[in-house]
Amino acid sequence: MSGRRGGLGRGLEALIPTGSGSALLQIPVDRIRPNPHQPRSRFDEESIAALAESIAEIGLLQPVVVKEAEDGGYVLVAGERRWRAARRAGLAEIPALVRSGDDRAALTEALVENLQREDLSPLEEAAAYRQLLDDFGMTHEEIGARVGKSRSSITNTLRLLQLPAVIQGMVDRGELSAGHAKALLGLDDHRYAEHVARRAVAEGWSVRQVEEAVRARKGKVAPPRAKVKEVRPVEIIELEQRLSDRLGTRVRIDYRNRKGKVEISFGSLDDLERIYRRFFAE
C-alpha cells in the first residue's frame, strides 16, 4: 500500500479504554490464530473476498480483538472475518487490541466514544458500526441511540461498505463525498458504478448529477396506476418495527385475511448467520 495510514482511524486512540487492560498493537497476521471456541464455523467466501479487496485498497479500518496465548502468539476474541480478509489481501500485520482482562463493556463504550468524534471519515464510521454489530451484538437501533442518530442513518451509512473497493477508495481519499457514494448504491452493476464514479471525480459532478446518471441508467419508470391505499393494522406495523429493531435489519410482514408471511432481509451469509443467532440470543 502507499502512504495510507494503514487503515487506522484518525480517532482510533479512543478505542483503548483507560484501565481496561487493553493495548493497541500492530501484530503479524501469522501470529494470530482463530479462537477454537468460535461459534461460527462457516464464513461467506464472497463477503470475505469483497472485504479483502476493500482492505487492499484502503487498509483495515477497525482492529481485531485478541488475547495473548501461552506460546507467545495471539488468539482472536473478535474479528475473525477481518483477520481472514486481511490474510487474503496479503497484509503482513494488522492493528489489534490485546486484551488482558474481560471488560467487554469498556471496549464497547470506547468504540462508541470514538464514533462521537468529528474527524472520522464516512467509511471509518461505517466500519465502526459494523464492528458494533458483529463483535458486540448491538442492533442498528441500539447503535443509533448510543451515538445520537436515527436507525435509518446507521443503516444507510453501513451500506457504504457494500460499494466496490475502487469507489470506497475514492471516498476514503476525499475524492467523492458520502452523498455521491450513497447515490451510487442505486446501481447493481458495479462496473458501471465505477465508471460513473470516475467520471464524477474527473468532471467534478455534484451529488445531483450522480443521482441523474443513476436514474438514467435504470431507465424511466412509468407512473403507477392510481389505486386505493392499503390500510395496514397498527398492531402489525408496530410488531414489524419491533422485529426490525431486534434483528437489526428490515422486516416486512404481509398480513391479509388473518394470515400472512414474514420477510427478513439480509445482506450476506454472514449477516444471515448474525440474524439467526439473534433468535437464540436469549
3 state SS of 180: helix
> What are 274's three cell numbers?
448474525
Q: Which residue out of 80, 125, 194, 240 is catalytically annotated?
A: 80
Task: Calculate the alpha carbon distances from 40 to 105, 118, 122, 135 in Å.
Answer: 22, 34, 29, 12
Higher pLDDT, 137 or 139: 139
Rank 14-23, 129-138, 169-178, 224-233 by mean pLDDT and report only the highest. 169-178
Least confident of 67-81, 98-112, 118-132, 217-231: 217-231
Confidence band of 252 (pLDDT split at 50, 70, 90):
confident
Average pLDDT over residues 40-61: 80
Distance CA 82, CA 84 (A): 6
For the chain, list the domains and their CATH numbers: 12-160 (3.90.1530.30), 163-218 (no CATH), 234-279 (no CATH)
Distance CA 167, CA 66 (A): 30
* pLDDT score, position 183: 92
Distance CA 179, CA 135 (A): 27
> What are 204's three cell numbers?
467534478
* pLDDT score, position 101: 60
Confidence band of 25 (pLDDT split at 50, 70, 90):
confident
Confidence band of 201 (pLDDT split at 50, 70, 90):
very high
Q: At what angle do helices 80-89 and 45-58 cross, to 10 degrees?
A: 60
3 state SS of 19: coil
Length of the chain: 282
Distance CA 18, CA 127 (A): 22
* pLDDT score, position 250: 83
pLDDT at 31 > cutoff 80: yes
Average pLDDT over residues 149-172: 89
Is 273 annotated as catalytic? no
Enter the pTM of the model: 0.57
pLDDT at 217 > cutoff 50: yes
241 Ramachandran zone, left/alpha/beta (phi>0; psi -120 to 50):
alpha
